[in-house]
Amino acid sequence: MKTFGKPGEAKGMFSNPVGACLDEQHRIVVTEYGNDRIQVMTQEGETITMFGDSGPEKLNRPTSCIPYKNMFLVADGDNNCIKGNKEIKMDNLTVHMVCLWTAPIIFLYVTRTITEFSSFL
């Protein structure tokens, strides 16, 4: 079993990682609740890119992320939205998780309900 990273805020470090998955290129995609960001990493644990911790894409307590069609869909918990190629507000409902069932069906776990969602497609 391979491990990498340690607690912290710098590139390659983690604060409360709440999810990880692989994208189409087999890169590791880590959702960090504590650092309000997504890190995309190689299989060896090297950070390729990070986003969400600053700028217009600023995340606020992301809870999950999935790669889909050359973009990432992020459940942005405290901003009450899904972010991807556009931002979709969820009418003050907290989005806890986004998952891909079978393309093109996307499901959201929103405040104790599961909702089919396809506005990004």
- Inside any domain, residue 119: no
C-alpha dihedral sign at 8, 79, 116, 111: positive
- Inside any domain, residue 37: yes
Residues near 103 by Cβ (< 8 Å), separated by ≥ 6? 68
CATH code for position 66: 2.40.10
For residue 31, give its domain range: 17-94
Report how far apart the first and last C-alpha atoms of the chain are (Å, whole number). 36
Number of residues that make up the chain: 121
Mean pLDDT of 26-46: 94
pTM above 0.85, yes or no: no
**13, exposed or middle or buried, with CB in 10 Å at 0-12, 13-18, 19+?**
middle
Residue range 46-87, pLDDT digits in tens? 999 999 998 878 999 998 888 877 788 888 878 877 787 556
- Inside any domain, residue 101: no
